[in-house]
Structure 1
Amino acid sequence: MSVFPSPLLDAFSALVDRLAALLQPALGGASTAVAVIAFTVLVRLAVHPLSRAAVRGQQARVRLAPRVAALRETYANRPERLRRAVLELHAEEKVSPFAGLLPGLLQAPAFLLLYALFSSGDRMGGHALLAAPLDGRWTEALGDGGPFGPAGLVHLAVLAVALVVAAYQYLRARRETVPGPDGGPAGLARVLPLLSFGTVVTVAFVPLAVGLYLVTSTAWSVVERALLMRRPPSPPVPTRA
């Protein structure tokens, strides 16, 4: 049973159908799949200002790294005082440790709405990408033709793209990890790089349309972040005497 009311799902279904109808003359049977991708792009454009803020926040934490290192040296034997001093520094410089989470959190309703729509079984049935139904899952394709059957190959292609993007995100996140107060990665930073591969696992078990949403969104994140990080970094904040 969906957490979304039926009128909302009907309205969202009509939106996807309208996008697909606009694309159908050029894309034929793939129009609904591309409509899902277009919807993903609209969602990512909506949260782009928050993504920019998240990147600025990380750049600020990098600039503050020399001062954080100085605090670690000053309070080497007082871990609680060190944590408090780092929090005070972040507050002074208006750096939020949660800024990077906001874009993902605000995308959750779109993900859940798409999942509910393509899991309902009576709204989006009959739409496919090549030989793979958009409301079908990889596990179902395995039982109908196997991994190299017509539907299985479509799912494998989506999974392969998800794996490549996840590997890139993992390596990038490891490089960009900002040290925590104790000198190692912050608690959340230890986990976040590994979460990149959670997308691959999710794509394997959700309807194909939802997998397209996830792959498009994560690929967008890679490109968006690369472009935002191309800006020249601000000079480091000097340590205080």
Structure 2
Amino acid sequence: MDLYSFPPIAAVLDGAYTLLMALAGLLDPLIGVTSAAAAIVLVTVIVRAVLIPTAVSMAKGEQVRARLAPKLQALRQRHRDNPERLQRELAKLYADEGTSPLAGCLPMLVQAPVVGVIYALFILPSVNGHANALLTETLGGVPLGSSLAGEAVHGTLGWPDALVFGGVILLIALIAEVTRRVLRPPVPPAATAAAAAGQAGKPGTPATSGPAGALAAPGVARALGFLPYATAVVAVFVPLAAGLYLVVTVAWTLVQRMVLRRRFPLPEPPAAPQPAAGAAP
């Protein structure tokens, strides 16, 4: 059975589709053939604005996890041979702090159905039994329902289409690079020094000791820093309409995280110990 044809889901998709096309109709006298693309941008902004409270909750959860990371690391080291005791101590720590290890996860679950509805409107040829006119609309002459990979496979990719697709993908990649530089997790100096000396990962040497926990290990941090580029890769294969959604989403996410990081800053990692006077370099 097609999940999208299930009556409740089909009704939700139809309502979202009607709203999107109505917005496109309102914008058409102002911007003409790009009205559907503008409607996608507008709907994405509206959805992300509605979800601001969940973003605030995620930022608070990130701050709490960063603050508790040293204590969590210490507990794991102390009770590494006693898993049951470790679980009890972790549960007690979270209870004492008035939080839980799932803090920050629930907001992501709230966003999931919204993102799913928007994405479905970009890929389905029909919605609730009628043709999806959204996919026949264009941006720069490129149908919103087409993809860079699809046109390349079918041999229909021309320079005008390639420029539009390339512009969208390049913009996502540029935002990803800014995100990687601005929002990289803090790396404790001690962890950096240990990694440089080849000591990270040795028995008895914790990978990190700073507020970012295990995720702040230099190698892991570098790997995570390139995850934003995955969105640019996804944009190669999804319809152009979804690419527009991704552009607005990654841009909104970057600005929103920068603002919330200032409002809920992460603790600074502890400074690296200074060598004793007269010690050999």
Return the TM-score normalized by structure 1. Answer: 0.78
Q: Which runs of 5+ in 1 are unaligned?
A: 237-241
> What is the number of equivalent residue pairs in this alignment?
231
- 2:124 maps to 1:123: no
CA contact (8 A) 1:29 1:128 kept: yes
Q: Deviations over 1:211-233 (max 9, x none)?
A: 21122112211111111111275
Partner of 1:144: 156
Residue 132 of structure 2 aligns to which amino acid in structure 1? R
Within-5 A mapping of 1:34-113:
34-68=38-72, 70-71=74-75, 75=78, 78=81, 80=83, 81-82=85-86, 84-113=88-117
CA contact (8 A) 1:43 1:107 kept: no
User: Closer, same or farther in 2 for the Cα pair 1:66/1:34, shift >3 Å?
Assistant: same
User: Closer, same or farther in 2 for the Cα pair 1:69/1:98, shift >3 Å?
Assistant: closer
1:209 aligns with one of 204, 220, 241: 241
Q: How far apart, CA to CA, are the structure 2 residues paired with 1:135 and 1:210?
A: 9
- Aligned to 2:157, what secondary structure does the other structure show? coil
Partner of 1:231: 263
Q: CA RMSD of the aligned region, Å?
A: 3.3
Among all aligned residue pairs of Structure 1 and Structure 2, give the percentage whose two residues are the same amino acid: 37
Give the superposition deviation at 1:144.
1.9
CA contact (8 A) 2:23 2:39 kept: yes
Give the superposition deviation at 1:94.
2.6
CA contact (8 A) 1:23 1:35 kept: yes
- 2:14 maps to 1:13: no
Please identify the structure whose Cα radius of gyration is greater.
2
Q: Deviations over 1:38-93 (max 9, x none)?
A: 111121122211110111111122333454455466x1764634565344312321
